[in-house]
Chains A and B, each alone.
Chain A
Amino acid sequence: MAESLLSLRINGEAVSTAAPSHWTLLEVLRYRLDLIGSKQGCDKGDCGACTVQINGEPVLACLTLAATAQRGEVRTVEGLSWAPEASQGCHPLQDAFDRWDAAQCGFCTPGILMAAEALLRKRAAVVTRDEVREALAGNLCRCTGYTKIIDAVVDASEVVFGQRGDESTDDSAQQTGS
């Protein structure tokens, strides 16, 4: 099978790899670059488990040809990080998912984190539950019933954008080791 050389920018780094020219971005991430955070669920755009960001916008890696992703800045769940000295590198969303038990099997979580991160970054404010529902409308979760996911995203936005930053620090401290 003819392979071609791909030059991608992923999580801020330039990456080159050879891959079949018809592979999707998801296939290249998982089977060439060992970035297996992005999940292969339905592989046809129905489930959102493969959601990554290109130029800051959430898109479905399973429907994006790797060749066409060469022009953009790709960000995967592996690229989520946040002031490492304060939180062991966890993004406030990841921290909130932990505190709210917003993941059970976890298969949908990477895609949801990338969709939610785009929402928080673009809104740059405390978000409403309806805004979270809308932003995550393309991400299926078969375990949680979504309630705790929405709780966690709203909570993370409150941590990041102010209203109850102090309180949540207390929460984190209380739940350490739980």
Chain B
Amino acid sequence: MRPFALIRPESLTQARDLVVAKPEGRSFRAGGIDLMDRMKEGLDDPELLVELRGVGELAGVTESAGFSPATADGSVPENLPSGALWRVGAATTLAEIAANEALLDGAAALVEAASQAATPGIRNTATVGGNLLQRPRCWYYRNRELVCLKKGGDMCLAIAGDNRYHAILGGGPSFIVHPSSLATALVALGATVGTFRGASAEDAITPGRVLPIEELFAGPKTDPTREHVLEDGEVLEAVLVPKAGAEMRSAYGAVREKQSHDWPLVEAAVRMRVDAGVMKDVRVALGHVAPVPWLSPEAAEVLEGQAPDAELFARAAEAAVAKARPLDGNGYKVPMSKGLLREVLHRASGLALPE
């Protein structure tokens, strides 16, 4: 690992300015789990780490009637969600989320995802922002000796290589799977994210943004070298989860080769409201199947307005993977995704699993 300096800015504005001044050599840092890993592997060698913990309002989970990201001119950003929200600061640790029982009201899938990720020691350090913005875990990307598409090479090495952990949906030209488990849950929960791009009229370049969380992520067709749309110096400030009330249910599940400290093979998360016997406001997401957290409107459409039913869940699961195009080594993810999604739908809706 190359030597670097660490600086603790006093404000988000200062943090932003430090990175904007030299984005190629400076990096934001919070928990540092993925960043340290990449630096030790030699994939990244920033000269200056800009510590985000301790500045702004990045830490902790709060209940909010609404959210006002800092804007230069006081204008209200687009996409501002209405109604009561959970505001999860980007520097909140996974352990804090896993231990937050209040979040079970409206964000149960997020609590489940956070409590299963990585290991207890990592969850005590890793943050929400870092989890969402971590780089892919593809073994070709993570190997410093290999120049893959993600690192400016000509092609994705998974195509002709060992692609057992790669994408079955939305792949090409890169076939990574997005590594964030929290993202899978948050996409199902209909979360939005608030970003910081300047605090006051004098030093703001542009106001912050509020994005539906699926718009935070960008697939490889946009730019295969990155997975999100944040600009240099733009700080992911908070995740906003609708506090939908007791009738809204959600669930998350993952299949792993090992029970702990392993990346999921596939994940599924769903959100729904069961109203007068039928499912409403259904959202379905799959994880570790595509280069982005995969929202499945096709599955949601099968379920919306219908009564929970095992056969219906099986049809929704078929719809979720209807467009799957497996590579040589990852065809198992198709039936695995279907089985897991059915299980999660049973759990979320309260319908007992068939024997």
Q: Which residues of chain A have a CB within 8 Å of any CB of chain B?
A: 1-2, 20-22, 24, 43-46, 48, 51, 57-60, 62-65, 67-68, 115, 133-135, 137-139
User: Interface residues, chain B, CB within 8 Å of chain A?
Assistant: 1-6, 32-33, 36-37, 40-41, 49, 51, 53, 95, 118-122, 124-125, 259-261
Additional A-B contacts beyond A22-B2, A68-B6, A68-B53 (13; CB < 8 A): A21-B4, A21-B5, A22-B3, A44-B37, A60-B121, A60-B122, A62-B36, A63-B122, A65-B6, A68-B32, A137-B259, A137-B260, A138-B261
A105 to chain B, nearest CB (A): 20
Give chain B residues whose Cβ lies under 8 Å from the Cβ of A138: 118-122, 260-261
SS class of chain A's interface: helix, strand, loop or mixed?
Answer: mixed
A46 and B120 contact, Cβ closer than 8 Å, known pairs A22-B4, A57-B95, A68-B6: no
Return the chain B residue nearest A50 by Cβ: B121
Contacting pair A137 B120 (CB below 8 A): yes
A20 nearest in chain B by CB position:
B3
Instruction: Select from chain A the residue with minimum beta-carbon distance to B124.
Output: A57
Contact status B1-A135, CB under 8 Å: no
Report the nearest B residue to A134, measured CB to CB. Answer: B120
Q: Closest residue to A55 on the B side, CB-wise?
A: B124
Nearest CB to that of A58 among chain B residues? B121
Contact in complex: A63, B3 (CB < 8 Å):
no
Give the contacting residue for A63; candidates B36, B41, B49, B259; CB below 8 A: B36
Inter-chain contact A51/B121, CB cutoff 8 Å:
yes
Residues A59 and B32 in contact, CB atoms below 8 Å apart: no
Inter-chain CA distance A51–B33, complex, in Å, is 14
Contact A64:B125 (CB < 8 A) given known A22-B3, A58-B120, A134-B120: yes
With contacts A115-B120, A134-B120, A138-B260 taken as known, whether A59 is within 8 angstroms of B125 at the C-beta atoms is: yes
Do A63 and B118 form a contact, CB below 8 Å, given A21-B4, A22-B3, A57-B124? no
Say yes or no: A21-B6 contact (C-beta < 8 A), given A51-B121, A63-B37: yes
Which chain A residues lie closer than 8 Å to B124 at the CB level?
57-59
Contact assessment for B6 and A63 in the assembled complex, using a CB-CB cutoff below 8 Å:
no
B6 touches A45 (CB 8 A): no
| Least CB distance, B31 to chain A, in whole angstroms | 8
Taking A65-B32, A68-B51, A138-B260 as contacts, is the C-beta distance between A59 and B121 under 8 angstroms? yes
| B120 adjacent to A45 (CB under 8 Å) | no
On chain B, the residues within 8 Å of A1 by CB distance are 3
* B37 in contact with A45 (CB, 8 Å): yes
A67 touches B36 (CB 8 A): no
Query: What are 26 A-B interface contacts by the 8 Å CB criterion?
Result: A20-B3, A21-B3, A22-B2, A22-B4, A22-B5, A44-B36, A45-B33, A45-B37, A45-B122, A46-B261, A48-B119, A57-B95, A63-B32, A63-B36, A63-B122, A63-B125, A64-B125, A65-B6, A68-B32, A68-B51, A115-B120, A115-B121, A134-B260, A137-B261, A138-B121, A138-B260
What 4 A-B pairs are tightest by C-beta distance, nearest first?
Answer: A138-B119, A137-B260, A57-B124, A138-B121
Q: How far is the CB of A56 from chain B (nearest CB, A)?
A: 10
Contacts of B3 in A (CB 8 A): 1-2, 20-22
Question: For the complex, what is the distance from the CA of A147 to the CA of B36, rounded to whole Å?
Answer: 32
Complex contacts, A115 vs chain B, CB 8 Å? 120-121
B120 near A135 (CB under 8 angstroms)? Answer: yes
Instruction: Give the chain B neighbours of A63 by CB distance below 8 A.
Output: 32-33, 36-37, 122, 125
CB distance from A45 to the nearest CB of B (A): 6
A58 to B124, CA, bound (A): 7
Contact A44 B261 (CB under 8 A): no
Q: Which residues of A contact B40 (CB under 8 A)?
A: 43-44
Q: Which of A20, A24, A57 has the most CB of B within 10 A?
A: A57
**CB–CB A137/B37 < 8 A:** no
Minimum distance in angstroms from A22 CB to a CB of chain B: 5
Partner of A137, one of B1, B119, B125: B119
Q: Is the CB of A48 within 8 A of B32?
A: no
Least distance between A15 CB and chain B CB atoms (Å):
19
Nearest opposing residue in chain A for B3, CB measure: A22
Complex CA–CA separation, A62 to B119 (angstroms): 14
Q: Quick one: closest B residue to A111, CB to CB?
A: B121
B residues in contact with A60, CB < 8 Å: 121-122, 125
Which chain A residue lies CB-closest to B53? Answer: A68
Chain B residue contacts of A22, Cβ below 8 A: 1-6
Give the distance to chain B from A94, nearest Cβ to Cβ, in Å: 20
CA distance A65 to B95 in the complex (A): 19
Distance in Å: Cβ of B15 to nearest Cβ of chain A: 15
Closest chain B residue, CB of each to CB of A21:
B5
